[in-house]
Structure 1
Amino acid sequence: MAETALTSLARQEGKSGASPLQIALILIAVAALIAAPFFFYPIFIMKVLCFALFACAFNLLLGYTGLLSFGHAAFFGGAAYFTAHAVKEWGLTPEIGILIGVIGAAVLGLVIGFLAIRRQGIYFAMVTLALAQMFYFFCLQSEFTKGEDGIQGVPRGHLFGLIDLNVPINMYYLVLGIFLIGVFAIWRIINSPFGMILKSVRENENRAISLGYSVGKYKLAAFVMSAALAGLAGATKALVFQFATLTDVTWQMSGEVILMTLLGGIGTLIGPIVGATLVVTLQNYLATSDFPVTVVTGAIFMICVLLFRRGIVGELYASRLGRKLMARRD
Structure 2
Amino acid sequence: MTHAAQPSPVAEPVRNTKNAATVQIAFLLAGTLLLVLAPLFFYPIFLMKILCFALFACAFNLLLGYTGLLSFGHATFFGGAAYFTAHAVKEWGLPVELGILVGVAGAAALGLIMGFFAIRRQGIYFAMITLALSQMFFFFCLQAGFTHGEDGIQSVPRGDLLGFIDLNSSTNMYYFVLAVFVIGMVVIWRFINSPFGMILKSIRENEQRAISLGYSVARYKLGAFVMSAALAGLAGAMKALVFQFATLTDVAWQMSGEVILMTLLGGIGTLIGPIFGAGLVVTLQNYLATSDFPVTIITGVVFMVCVLVFRRGIIGEFYASRLGRRLGFQHRR
Q: Same fold (TM over 0.5)?
A: yes
Which whole-Å CA distance do the structure 1 matches of 2:325 and 2:134 have between them? 40
Q: Which amino acid aligns with 1:227?
A: A
Which whole-Å CA distance do the structure 1 matches of 2:273 and 2:178 have between them? 18
In structure 1, the partner of 2:231 is 229
- Residue 92 of structure 2 corresponds to residue 118 of structure 1: no
Q: Following superposition, which runs of at least 4 residues in structure 1 exceed 3 angstroms of deviation?
A: 15-18
> How do residues 177-326 of structure 1 correspond to structure 2 at under 5 angstroms?
177-326=179-328
Which whole-Å CA distance do the structure 2 matches of 1:263 and 1:124 have between them? 22
In structure 2, the partner of 1:41 is 43
Which whole-Å CA distance do the structure 1 matches of 2:48 and 2:187 have between them? 19
Query: Percent identity at matched positions?
Result: 78
In structure 1, the partner of 2:55 is 53
Q: How many Å apart are 1:327 and its aligned residue?
A: 7.8
Q: 5+ residue gaps in structure 2?
A: 1-16
Q: Which amino acid aligns with 1:167?
A: S
Which whole-Å CA distance do the structure 2 matches of 1:322 and 1:180 have between them? 24
> What count of residue pairs does the alignment treat as equivalent?
314
Aligned to 2:38, the other structure's residue is in SS state: helix
Q: How many Å apart are 1:16 and its aligned residue?
A: 12
Further displaced range: 101-110 or 159-168: 159-168
Q: Which amino acid aligns with 1:264?
A: G
Match of 1:168 among 167, 170, 185: 170
Aligned to 1:282, the other structure's residue is in SS state: helix
Q: How many Å apart are 1:21 and its aligned residue?
A: 1.1
8 Å Cα contact 1:16/1:191 also seen in 2: no
In structure 2, the partner of 1:63 is 65
Aligned to 2:250, the other structure's residue is in SS state: helix
Which whole-Å CA distance do the structure 2 matches of 1:143 and 1:16 have between them? 57
Which whole-Å CA distance do the structure 2 matches of 1:284 and 1:310 have between them? 25
Q: How many Å apart are 1:160 and its aligned residue?
A: 1.4
Q: 5+ residue gaps in structure 1?
A: 1-14
Q: How many Å apart are 1:150 and its aligned residue?
A: 0.0
Q: Which amino acid aligns with 1:234?
A: G
In structure 2, the partner of 1:75 is 77
Q: Which amino acid aligns with 1:256?
A: E
Which whole-Å CA distance do the structure 2 matches of 1:17 and 1:99 have between them? 40
Which whole-Å CA distance do the structure 1 matches of 2:70 and 2:299 have between them? 21
8 Å Cα contact 2:202/2:210 also seen in 1: yes
Q: How many Å apart are 1:325 and its aligned residue?
A: 1.2
In structure 1, the partner of 2:138 is 136
Aligned to 2:257, the other structure's residue is in SS state: helix
Which whole-Å CA distance do the structure 2 matches of 1:234 and 1:200 have between them? 30
Q: How many Å apart are 1:317 and its aligned residue?
A: 0.6
CA 194–252 in structure 1, closer or farther in 2 if over 3 Å, else same: same
Q: How many Å apart are 1:20 and its aligned residue?
A: 1.3
In structure 1, the partner of 2:12 is none
In structure 1, the partner of 2:13 is none
Which whole-Å CA distance do the structure 2 matches of 1:88 and 1:17 have between them? 50
Q: Deviations over 1:278-312 (max 9, x none)?
A: 00000000001011000000001111111101000
TM-score, normalised by the number of residues in structure 1:
0.94
Aligned to 1:137, the other structure's residue is in SS state: helix
In structure 2, the partner of 1:30 is 32
CA 141–194 in structure 1, closer or farther in 2 if over 3 Å, else same: same
Which whole-Å CA distance do the structure 2 matches of 1:18 and 1:41 have between them? 34
In structure 2, the partner of 1:7 is none
Which whole-Å CA distance do the structure 1 matches of 2:134 and 2:185 have between them? 25
Which whole-Å CA distance do the structure 2 matches of 1:204 and 1:16 have between them? 31
Q: How many Å apart are 1:18 and its aligned residue?
A: 7.5
Q: Which amino acid aligns with 1:139?
A: C
Greater C-alpha radius of gyration = 2
Q: Deviations over 1:53-92 (max 9, x none)?
A: 0000000000000000000000000000000000000001
